[in-house]
Amino acid sequence: MKRNRNSSLLVLLLFLVVVFITFSIICAEARKNHTKKSKSHKHHEEKSANGNNAPAPAPAPLPPYGSYPTRSTIFNVLSFGAKGDGVCDDSNALLAAWNAACKVPYATVGIPSKFKFLIKPITLQGPCMPHLALQIDGTLLAPPKPSSWTKSSLFQWINFKWVHNFTILGTGTVDGQGSGWWSLSPIHYIEVSSTTTPSLKHKLPKKFYASYNVTVRDIRIMNSPQCHLKFDSSGGVKVNNITISSPETSPNTDGIHLQNTQDVEIHHSNIGCGDDCVSIQTGCSNVHVHDINCGPGHGISLGGLGKDKSVACVSNIVVENILMQNTQSGVRIKTWQGGIGSVKNVSFSNIQVSDVKVPIIIDQYYCGKKSCQNQTGAVAISGVKYDQIMGTYSAQPIRLACSNEIPCTHVDLIDIQLKPSPRYGKFQQALCWNSFGKSQAPLLPSSIDYCLRGTDGLPKTTAISQEKILRYFGEPPASGVGAVDFRAVVAVYRGNPSSAFEYASLGVLAVFGFFGQFRCEDRLAQSCDQFHSVFADCSGPG
């Protein structure tokens, strides 16, 4: 009995040994096969990176700074055949990565750091799955030569169309390489037919069209041939913590351009360019621009609106907490003569200016060339508030040149303190025409208090007297052109420009003093309308 029990134990022990040996062999074989598969997969990725096969999306190395969006599948452009040497055309690789990512929720198109990708004009089109992102950690380069741009490209570089819930982010750079275009445009206003050489008028590095819930953050956009970042017919736009930079002398290089776009927030960014830091055009409403460093450039502008008798509608605009340095304008509303529509409910507050040519402007005689034909009608401007505009100017503190046909109404000037820059000279007076509203101290220079007229058509406070004008212009000559000019200026400021031209029977009108430092002499002036033409030409579009 005892012998049988020992035999059973021996059999059990042998069985366990056999099982252990078999299990060890299976595990070793599995590890061997796994290693072979890993090497084979790695080889496939390397082959795909050379563009020999269409790859499946593979995780890309994480960028050195920041991280890709959470839950994201990465579509690295290098895995789709991009070279990243800044010379070879990587447009097809970017488009392939986009098309693949577009089909996957929470996908990211990756532009890795330490690479430069030459991208020719391209449209990245939706609709795509939700929460698509373009992570730019390297550099995207536009073709540097105008001849590289075909007419079919519509002269737009990277055009985003019909994308929703989309984000552009990263630590990289978008470089428009625009110097070759700037040299073709010695002036700021270019009208070139689309049947000729590509026009600067349409040359945009990044444009969003019919896109909603779009965020652009953290990247740098530089050296655009023209406008750097444009949103057209879009909504729910957020732009923050970006840098836009082009030389002060680069023509028409708006920083951010909005058109037919609603519900926009632009904040905590640095913008320096050769035109408007932010340009708000027709069809825009509910726009909030705040905490921006602007300069060089032409300030923050609404318009030009109403060109070619078009309809322009802009409303509910808030611009606040802005620092402007060495800009042509500060905060500006500009409209063309003959336009239709309205600008209403606009607030400019806490604007700090330093060496800004003219910090506050309403110009309803805006003209993109040396002279424009006078037209009746204008875009109506109402409900505009200027609050806490402070700092230094280099030419003139304020210029409100409202339409003779449709005056500006409900304009508020509150706590305006503007001094001449020590580099440019003495105090200049405010220039105001046909503007109605109210002002509230402190106001510097004091002439701002005479800018706005009350509902009765008279200046809000005290009508200006001839004695007060004498303190600025000096004693007029007893006779001659100087006396005629003096009487004309008094008549104009008292709101009777027709009388000014009765006085100015010699056909000579000098506009100066209360009408700014600009001096326009030897101008024929036969009618009130011609006076406003002189007024617009003297002031200039800025």
Q: Indicate whether 335 and 428 sit together in one domain.
A: yes
Pull the structure tokens for residue 306. 């109403």
Examine the fold and report which residue of 463, 492, 524 is the final residue of a domain before the chain moves on.
463
Q: Indicate whether 534 and 411 sit together in one domain.
A: no
ω into 296 cis (within 30 of 0): yes
- Whether the per-residue pLDDT at 339 is higher than 70: the answer is yes
Which of 178-182, 234-238, 427-431 tops mean pLDDT? 234-238
Domain span including residue 517: 466-539
Examine the fold and report which residue of 463, 481, 510 is the final residue of a domain before the chain moves on.
463
Instruction: Report the mean per-residue pLDDT for the chain.
Output: 76
Average pLDDT over residues 46-61: 38
CATH value at residue 292: 2.160.20.10
Q: What is the pLDDT of residue 414?
A: 97
Q: Indicate whether 439 and 472 sit together in one domain.
A: no
Q: Indicate whether 73 and 117 sit together in one domain.
A: yes
Q: Binning pLDDT at 50, 70 and 90, where does residue 375 land?
A: confident
Q: Residues 159-198: pLDDT tens digits?
A: 999 999 999 999 999 999 888 778 775 433 222 222 233 4
Q: Indicate whether 383 and 291 sit together in one domain.
A: yes
Lateral strand order in the sheet of 278-280: 122-125, 156-161, 204-209, 229-232, 256-259, 278-280, 300-305, 329-335, 358-363, 398-401, 431-433
Average pLDDT over residues 441-452: 92
Q: Indicate whether 294 and 416 sit together in one domain.
A: yes
Q: Binning pLDDT at 50, 70 and 90, where does residue 323 land?
A: very high
- Whether the per-residue pLDDT at 79 is higher than 60: the answer is yes
Q: Indicate whether 314 and 300 sit together in one domain.
A: yes
Its sign, for the CA torsion 82, 87, 89, 95, is positive
Asked whether residue 1 is assigned to any structural domain, the reply reads no
Which one is predicted more confidently, 257 or 541?
257
Which one is predicted more confidently, 23 or 517?
23
Asked whether residue 10 is assigned to any structural domain, the reply reads no
Q: Residues 300-312: pLDDT tens digits?
A: 999 999 999 999 9
Q: What is the pLDDT of residue 129?
A: 97
Q: Indicate whether 366 and 475 sit together in one domain.
A: no
Neighbours of 94 (CB within 10 A): 24
Asked whether residue 154 is assigned to any structural domain, the reply reads yes
- Whether the per-residue pLDDT at 263 is higher than 70: the answer is yes
How many whole angstroms separate alpha carbon 391 and alpha carbon 444?
10
Q: Binning pLDDT at 50, 70 and 90, where does residue 103 land?
A: very high
- Whether the per-residue pLDDT at 313 is higher than 80: the answer is yes
What is the number of domains present in the chain?
Answer: 3
Q: Indicate whether 118 and 265 sit together in one domain.
A: yes
139-143, 178-182, 493-497, 528-532: the lowest-pLDDT one: 528-532
Q: What is the pLDDT of residue 205?
A: 56
Q: Indicate whether 389 and 455 sit together in one domain.
A: yes
Asked whether residue 490 is assigned to any structural domain, the reply reads yes
Residues with catalytic function: 275, 298
Q: What is the pLDDT of residue 157?
A: 86
Q: What is the pLDDT of residue 179?
A: 81
Q: Cβ neighbours of residue 37 under 8 Å, at least 6 residues apart? A: none
Q: Residues 465-521: pLDDT tens digits?
A: 334 334 433 444 444 434 444 444 444 444 444 333 333 322 222 222 223 222 222
Average pLDDT over residues 265-290: 97
Q: Cβ neighbours of residue 492 under 8 Å, at least 6 residues apart? A: 500, 515, 531
Residue 426 per-residue DSSP state: S
CA neighbor of 55 nearest in space, from 100, 118, 98, 9 = 100
285-299, 403-417, 481-495: the lowest-pLDDT one: 481-495
Q: Indicate whether 135 and 247 sit together in one domain.
A: yes
Asked whether residue 31 is assigned to any structural domain, the reply reads no
Asked whether residue 16 is assigned to any structural domain, the reply reads no
Asked whether residue 48 is assigned to any structural domain, the reply reads yes
Which one is predicted more confidently, 107 or 34?
107
Asked whether residue 3 is assigned to any structural domain, the reply reads no
Examine the fold and report which residue of 275, 290, 306 is the final residue of a domain before the chain moves on.
275
Q: What is the pTM of this model?
A: 0.71
Q: What is the pLDDT of residue 503?
A: 34
- Whether the per-residue pLDDT at 108 is higher than 60: the answer is yes
Q: What is the pLDDT of residue 485?
A: 41
Q: Indicate whether 86 and 128 sit together in one domain.
A: yes
